Amino acid sequence: MMVEQLMTALGVPVAAYTGGTLAVHTPIDGSRIGMAPCDDAASVARKIERAAQAARAWRDVPAPQRGHLVRRFGEVLRQHKAELGELVSWEAGKITQEGQGEVQEMIDICDFAVGLSRQLHGLTIASERPGHHMRESWHPLGVVGVISTFNFPVAVWSWNAALALVCGNAVIWKPSEKTPLTALACQALLAQALADFPGAPECLSQVVVGGREAGMALVDDPAVALVSATGSTRMGREVGPRVAARLGRSILELGGNNAMILAPSADLGLAERAILFSAVGTAGQRCTTLRRLIVHESLRAQVVRRLKTLYAGIRVGHPLQGNLVGPLIDAAGYEAMQAALRQAEQEGGVVHGGQRVLQDAYPDAYYVAPAIVEMPGQTAIVRHETFAPILYVMGYHDFDQALQLHNDVPQGLSSCLFTNDLREAERFQGASGSDCGIANVNIGTSGAEIGGAFGGEKETGGGRESGSDAWKNYMRRQTNTVNYSRDLPLAQGIDFS
Ligand code: NAD
């Protein structure tokens, strides 16, 4: 289907995305697919005010009922998975499988959040005082602001929104200026779910369209209790200190520079498949993309040879026509890739692939052959995240050296080890092993399940979203003590009589 048909099927009227000032282009062929209406500072402020009102009403709806709304949203997503997934392909350039997979991730987080809506448990704590009862309660925060990237245009919002909503908050979403149409579509689908939920207040979920300035308006407003910002480390360096300056809360999900250690005992067939999906999938534009392969010297030549053969067979092309790799998001993404490859060469690297392809068929789009770069060591460019399909390959002699190389980058998102040696596997996941938020054994760096907490360390920002107890970020904790005795004993044994 074409974009207009998809938007209509998803409940967004043409006028809602054609009359504005923000030009939206598809990376598939560079053509314009919308003119989205932009928010200014005044309209963002009005939306925040309305969100605060909505949050005041929503917080008193019992959590399991809030879960009903998210369950209904999950049903609506199931009904529209095909159309929304295809729209993701048009707007972000993902191949069919990955566009659909992204919507599946939204459905999965809805299921997770529905279960959670009956499990927002606090502790019961033993009091040191007779006739006293202590417990911990979790209460909604208020307004949650979500800032998201182009490369996961719908899933990142849903990880935040599904949890924020069951936790009793209102949500304002500033999607990437490169992907506002999918955001408007998600909003329309959520509106369908809200229509079946008479208890929900107006403006429980809103979208703010615009670039950095629109994001800043959310960042600086004290009424936004939590800013969950996903994007580059550059963005995080601006957002983190500004939210902290007003003593607000933030979740920062920033850039990664993910590695695989490939040990001599590994199942090479398994490792090859993991490398391909992690390094080449989404045209290397995932925060968890495999960017560094640290391979035992005894395997190095053989693995590079094999990868070159596999890379030669990868079908690059229109993402909705059965290819494995779609386009880069735009010209800037392409130029950053070429600049990184030139720098890698200057630093002693040998580049295989990486050139622009299909230029005749798509002069206004940027398709590339994924690159393998053999590096003499972990030079400056290897330590930098370039958001493109570049896999740097380095050798190692012993496992300590591999771990040292692995951790010697500023980012700390995802990591993996391929081995059949139990000692190596346990060390990798131990305190002196991988320093990343995600450390896998015999699984690639990409494609996390929503059940685990997602996020990374160091310059990746330290935030956690999605599964496990990440929901606690969207609530405030209150310690409650009740005295049901006839005395007033003081803590710490103090006698104040
Ligand atoms: P980006 O940083 O350019 O933009 C991300 C979002 O931040 C956009 O909505 C943008 O408008 C907004 N923004 C930028 N500056 C801002 C500011 N000063 N204040 C408020 N908002 C601001 O990132 P991108 O190019 O869209 O995405 C690619 C980057 O995102 C990569 O570095 C990738 O690793 C990272 N990423 C991280 C995760 C994760 O979970 N760790 C997930 C996806 C992408």
Q: What is the pLDDT of residues 366-394, one digit of tens each?
A: 999 999 999 999 999 999 999 999 999 99
Residues with a CB atom less than 6 Å from ligand 1: 147-152, 174, 176-177, 211-212, 215-216, 219, 230-232, 235, 238-239, 253-256, 287, 385, 387, 413, 456, 460
Per-residue pLDDT for 413 more than 80?
Answer: yes
Give the pLDDT of residue 340: 98
What are the strands, taking DSSP E only, across 263-300?
Answer: 290-296
Q: What is the mean pLDDT of residues 113-140?
A: 97
Indicate if the pLDDT at residue 100 is higher than 80: yes
Residue in 110, 167, 186, 287 annotated catalytic: 287
Kindly tell me if the per-residue pLDDT of 350 is higher than 80.
Answer: yes
Residue 464: is its pLDDT beyond 90? yes
Q: Rounded CA gap, 153 and 306, in Å?
A: 34
Residue 13 has pLDDT above 80, yes or no: yes
- Write out pLDDT tens, residues 284-300: 999 999 999 999 999 99
The question of whether 287 is a catalytic residue gets the answer: yes
Mean pLDDT of 153-158: 98
Does the pLDDT at position 55 exceed 80? Answer: yes
Mean pLDDT of the chain: 97
- Its pTM stands at 0.97
| Average pLDDT score over residue span 52-80 | 98
How many CB atoms are closer than 10 A to CB 432? 10
Residue 302 has a pLDDT of 97
Q: Which of 291, 344, 295 is nearest to 460 (CA)?
A: 291
Distance between CA 14 and CA 37 in Å, rounded? 12
Phi and psi at residue 291, to the nearest 5° = -115, -20
Residue located nearest, by CA, to atom 12 of ligand 1: 212
Mean pLDDT value across residues 110-114: 98
pLDDT tens digits for range 240-255: 999 999 999 999 999 9
pLDDT computed for residue 234 by the predictor: 97
Which residue minimizes the CA distance to atom 39 of ligand 1? 253
399-418 average pLDDT score: 98
Active site residue 98: no
The one catalytic residue in 253, 272, 459, 465 is: 253
Note whether 169 and 142 are within 8 A (CB): yes
Interval 325-340: pLDDT, tens: 999 999 999 999 999 9
C-alpha 149 – ligand 1 centre gap (Å)? 5
Residue 454 CA, distance from chain mean position = 8
DSSP string, 415-464: EEEE-S-HHHHHHHTSTTS--SSEEEESS-SS---TTSEE--EETT-S--
**Residue 472 DSSP label:** G
Check pLDDT > 80 for residue 1: no
Res 36 pLDDT > 90 = yes
